[in-house]
Amino acid sequence: MAGSIDVAQRSNDAPVVGFADEAVTVMRQLRTALAGLVQARPGAMLKSRDLQKTLGIDSKLSWQVFKLAGPGDALSLAPHVPRPASMRRLLDAATEYGISKKRVQEIRDAYDKFERLVEIHAGDRTSFYSMARGLYEADANDDADKTEVQHRKARFMADRHYAGAEVQTLLASFILHPGAEPDRYDYVPLRCRLGQRRLRPDADVVVDRFFITDYQGSVPTFNYDPLDPGAVREHGAMLVRPFCSDPIPKLRMTTEPNGFTYARLDGDAVGRPSSADLVFGQVHRNAPILDEIDGRRRWHTNLQITIPANVIIVDKVIHRPSMPKWNCKLAVHWQGPREPFDPTTGMRDLHELPFSERVTKLTAGAAGAYLRESPRYLELLTTVTDRQGWRLEDFDVYRVRIEYPLLYTALLLTFELE
C-alpha cells in the first residue's frame, strides 16, 4: 500500500486538478477495478456472501467490496473503502484464488491512488468523507447518510456531557385552521419534550420559550388562549397537564427584555429522577401566519435546537379543505439561541448545512400520524382539535424527522401555498 505523501512532493510542473474532479476520477477507477474482481469468478456473483465463500474473506470485507463494485454515486461509496490491512487481505486472497496478476495490480494501483488522494487533500479518512459528502446529493436511506448520522450521534454524546442535559424526543406540531377573519388563521403550536432530563444540577435547562411577535419584534396584535388554563395558573407555563408526566417538575419562569418568557427546570434533581415528559401549547386566534413575499404566500417555521436530542420530529398539521396544496422545503442552518431570523431575506444570510432529510406528506393524513416515540400523540391531536370544534380527519400532516439534530442549528421549514 502507498505510504504517506507530502503535498510538497508534487512536481511544480504538474497540472493542478480540483478536489472534486480528482475524487470522482479516483473513486470511479477503484469501483471499476473492484467490479472486475467480482466479475472474474465464473458464474453469477449476486450477493456479497458469494464473494466471501469464493475468496475465503470475512463478511465485512466482502460486503465492502460488493458495495463498492455496485451502482450509485461513486463518491457516496467512499465510506465503504476498506482500510489498508483489509485491502492487503483481499489482494492476497485474490492472488491465492487465481485472479490474474494484471487484475490484482489494477486494484492495487487504484487503491494506492485513493490513499494518496486522501492524504494530499484531506489528511485523514474522516475529513475526506466530510469533503466528499459536499459533492453529491445524498438519499436519506443510503449508507453514506447513515455514516452522517453516526457523526451526529458522536456530536450528541459530547454536547450532552457539556450541556449537562438531554432530551429523548423533541416533538413540535403546528396545527393550522382558517380563522374567523379573512386571511387570518387559528394556529396551535404544540411543543413536546419527551424524556427530558438533567445530568448536572448546575445546568441551565430551558424547557420552553413563549412569545409570538412579528418579524420586527413588535407586540402581536392577535389573541391566544392557553390549552390548559389551570396549568398556567399553577405553574406559570403553557403546559398541557394531561399529557405531561406526573409529577410535573418544578419550573422557574423568567421574562427577558426581548419579551420572551422562559420556563426553566428548577431544583437539583439529576439523572433518572429528573426525567419528565413535558407538553406545552396554546391556541392563537386570527393570526397573520402567512407572509406574502414576491407575490407568493408562505408559512415559515424556524425551530432552534437548544438542547442535545436523540431525535426531533416536526409535524405541520394543515386543514386540507382550505389549503390543499403546498410546496415544501427544509433547510438546516447554524443559528445561535438568540439569533433572529428574518423571512424576507430567507437563506441568504444563513449557512445551510448538508442534511438529506426532507419534508414528507403522510399518505394516511392526520389519522396516520402515529409515532412510536410518543404513543399518545394521536390522542393529543384529537383532544386539541376536538376542543376547537375541528375534525382531525380534515387535516393533512407534513413531517420531518431528524436523528441527532446538531446543537445550535435551526430547522427552517418553508411552506408555499400553491
Q: CATH no. for residue 395? A: 2.60.40
Q: Is 384 exposed, middle or buried (0-12, 13-18, 19+ CB in 10 A)?
A: buried
Quote the pLDDT of residue 74.
Answer: 79
- Residue 4 pLDDT: 33
**Matching residue, cell 489528511:** 123
DSSP assigned state of 137: -
**2 within some domain:** no
Residue carrying C-alpha cell 453514506: 144
Given a cut of 70, whether residue 274 has pLDDT beyond it is: yes
283 and 221 in a common domain: yes
Enumerate residues 6+ apart whose C-beta is below 8 A from 12.
none
Ramachandran area for residue 97 (φ above 0: left; ψ -120 to 50: alpha; else beta): alpha
Does one domain contain both 205 and 352? yes
Asked if residue 11 belongs to a domain, the reply is yes
Distance, CA of 54 to CA of 132 (rounded, Å): 32
Among residues of the chain, what percentage have pLDDT more than 90?
56
Closest CA to 224 of 181, 189, 260: 189
Domain assignment present for residue 1? The answer is no
Q: Quick check: 186 and 177 in contact, CB under 8 A?
A: yes
Domain total of the chain: 2
Parent domain of 313? 150-417
Domain-embedded: residue 170: yes
- Res. 13 pLDDT band, cuts 50 70 90: very low
Q: 329 and 213: one domain?
A: yes
Task: Judge if 30 and 85 occupy the same domain.
Answer: yes
**Is there a single domain that holds both residue 130 and residue 259?**
no
Domain final residue, candidates 136, 164, 188: 136
- pLDDT higher than 70, residue 136: no
342 and 314, same structural domain? Answer: yes
Shared domain for 157 and 120, answered yes or no, is no
Q: Rounded distance, CA 47 to CA 74, Å?
A: 19
Which run of H or of E encompasses 149? helix 143-163
Q: Which of 193, 317, 188 has the alpha carbon at shortest distance from 249?
A: 193
- pLDDT exceeds cutoff 80 at 341: no
Average pLDDT, whole number, for the chain? 85
Last residue of a domain, one of 113, 136, 159: 136
**Domain final position from 111, 136, 161:** 136
Q: What is the mean pLDDT of residues 256-285?
A: 88
* 227 and 330 co-located in one domain: yes
Whether residues 131 and 52 share a domain: the answer is yes
Statement to judge: residues 14 and 51 lie in one domain: yes
195 and 59 in a common domain:
no
Peptide bond into 15 cis (omega under 30): no
Does residue 47 lie in a domain region? Answer: yes
Amino acid present at 78: A
Residue 213 to residues 120, 217, 258, Cα–Cα distance (Å): 51, 5, 10
Residue 127 lies in a domain: yes
Q: Residues 117, 232: one domain?
A: no
Domain presence at residue 321:
yes
Specify if 143 maps to a domain: no
Chain-centroid distance of CA 325 in Å reads 25
Average the pLDDT over each of 174-188, 320-334, 337-351, 376-390 and give the range with the smallest value: 337-351
